[in-house]
Every structure is written in C-alpha cells, then in structure tokens.
C-alpha cells in the first residue's frame, strides 16, 4: 500500500538534545512538508521541499532543520535551539506541477520534552 510513514509515534527528548523525526513516502510525490500542531492553533508549516536537494523555510522554521537527499525521505531535526518543542508533528506529501494539490498525511509523531 502506498502511503506516508512517520516514526517513531512517540518520542521523548531531554532538554538540550537534538532529535530527528523520520518521514518516508512511497507515493512518488515530489513535494513533502512538515507541520507542527499545537492545541487550538491548527497546523503551522515548518519546512517544505518541492524537489530533491532543495527545501524552503515555512512559517516557523527557527530551531528546526531538514534534509532531502532522496525523493522518498524528508527527515526533520528538532534542535536544542527550539525553545518549546513539545508538540505533535505531521509530515505530508503532494504531487507537484498538478492541479491536484491534495496533501497526504502521515500518522504523526508526538514529541515530549522531559
């Protein structure tokens, strides 16, 4: 089955540590996205990538980093510079250059700072 896989489902981080969230898709989509979800705030865009080896900052990129070395993979690193990293993180992908801009989402990773 085609889809998006995020891992792990739950992640705990100590203060001052970097952590990396995994996102893999087998939909052959060019574009991939990372969103952060906080209660009452909807989803906010962290980073997005429209093509391999290229990515752009979203609305809340500070304290995060990404890479896009393969079409299928778009890992997100939450660095120690992110002051409030506890949140639910969602990865998504979509076709590019098409009228159909529907995004497909993974099941999310819940990150908690302990």
Partner 1 sequence: AQSVTQLDSQVPVFEEAPVELRCNYSSSVSVYLFWYVQYPNQGLQLLLKYLSGSTLVKGINGFEAEFNKSQTSFHLRKPSVHISDTAEYFCAVSDRGSSNTGKLIFGQGTTLQVKP
Q: Interface with partner 1 by CB under 8 A: which residues?
A: 4, 6, 31, 33, 35, 40-45, 48, 50, 56, 58, 88, 90, 92, 94-97, 99-108, 110
Closest separation between CB of residue 16 and partner 1, Å? Answer: 27
Beta-carbon contacts of residue 96 (< 8 Å; ≥ 6 apart):
29, 30, 31, 50, 51
Nearer to partner 1, 62 or 81 (CB): 62
Largest CA distance in the chain: 43
Report how far apart the first and last C-alpha atoms of the chain are (Å, whole number): 35
Task: CB nearer to partner 1: give 35 or 74.
Answer: 35
CB of 19 to partner 1, least distance (A): 19
């Amino acid at each position: 089955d085609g889809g998006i896989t995020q891992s792990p489902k739950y992640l705990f981080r100590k203060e001052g540590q970097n952590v990396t969230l995994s996102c893999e898709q087998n939909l052959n989509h060019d574009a991939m996205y990372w969103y952060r979800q906080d209660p009452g705030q909807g989803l906010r865009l962290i980073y997005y990538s429209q093509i391999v080896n290229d990515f752009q900052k979203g609305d809340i990129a500070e304290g995060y980093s990404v890479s896009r070395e393969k079409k299928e993979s778009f890992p997100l690193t939450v660095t120690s510079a992110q002051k409030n990293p506890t949140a639910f993180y969602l990865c998504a992908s979509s076709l590019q250059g098409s009228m159909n801009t529907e995004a497909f989402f993974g099941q999310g990773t819940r990150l908690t700072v302990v």
